[in-house]
Amino acid sequence: MQLLTRHMHTTASTATMVAYAQVSLLIASAVMGMLTGKGQFSDVGHPSLQFLLRSWTIPAEFDLALWVFMGLVRLWHLLVTRGYRWRQRL
């Protein structure tokens, strides 16, 4: 990942590189979820593997609200950072 970032920073913006990373992680998570999401492999002996391979459940409303809040905070941070960058160009 570091080598790819070092190569891409000359041609792509930070937001583009972050978007590529997020899309890659989303695809990898979706594939893993489709392969192991029903919990059919959770009967292993190790507690960590049991946790990772358990069946998927819908998160609680509080957890969903936290995800939305974290996304809004991240968006705010991105906009503030871009605002400073644009202000320096004026």
pLDDT in tens, 39-84: 888 888 899 988 888 888 889 999 999 999 999 998 998 888 888 8
Q: Is 10 exposed, middle or buried (0-12, 13-18, 19+ CB in 10 A)?
A: exposed
Based on the fold, state whether residues 62 and 24 are members of the same structural domain: no
How many domains does the chain fold into? 2
* Distance in angstroms between the alpha carbons of the first and the last residue of the chain: 34
| Domain ranges, residue 84 | 58-90
Whether residues 49 and 65 fall in one domain: no
**Confidence at residue 1, expressed as pLDDT on a 0 to 100 scale:** 62
My answer on whether 27 and 37 are in the same domain is yes
Residue 85 has pLDDT above 80, yes or no: no
